[in-house]
Amino acid sequence: MLIPLIVLATSAAPVARMQDPDAAIQAVMQDSAVGWSTGDVTRFLAIYADDAVFVTDKGLVRGKAAIAARYARTYGADTKQRGRLSFRMLGTRRIDATHRMLWARWTLAYPGGKQATGMTSLLFERKPDGWKIVSDHSS
């Protein structure tokens, strides 16, 4: 009876190690952008850790709930006002086994052709439920 358990435990480990962290992070970034663009704030914010910090020109916003409140004040619930979000990934750097840095250009496309764009530096941490942003500096 122990042999099948040992085989299962050892055969699952290589699969977890083989998962490409950069591809996983890019996938959650794209899912977050879809959430933003469709007005699904919960989906957009799923990428943030509960204790995430967002760096703004006015100071630090601490915690996922405070980050959500800031986005609600700034952009409201109207998806046209929010625009369509996309990211162009510029690079990543492995910090250690559970942390990755990501740099990207974000773009918000609005009806009528107007666009806003900027840069973002995101520190991700691998949590039990996947890669989460623990620090966001976007400008």
| CA distances in angstroms from 58 to 46, 49, 104, 139, listed in the order given | 24, 21, 22, 12
Tens-place pLDDT, residues 110-134: 988 999 999 999 999 999 999 999 9
Please tell me the predicted confidence (pLDDT) of residue 89. Answer: 96
Please give the Cα distance from 23 to 41 (Å, whole number): 23
Q: Of the candidates 10, 43, 41, 47, which has an alpha carbon nearest to the alpha carbon of residue 28?
A: 47
Q: What is the pTM of this model?
A: 0.82
The mean per-residue pLDDT over the stretch 89-96 comes to 96
Contact 35, 46 (CB under 8 A): yes
Q: Please list the alpha-helical segments (H only) found in 39-108.
A: 41-45, 64-75, 79-82
Please give the Cα distance from 2 to 21 (Å, whole number): 32
pLDDT confidence bin for 79, thresholds 50/70/90: low
Phi, psi angle pair for 78, to nearest 5°: -70, 115
The mean per-residue pLDDT over the stretch 71-87 comes to 82
Tens-place pLDDT, residues 7-44: 333 333 333 344 799 999 999 999 999 999 998 989 99
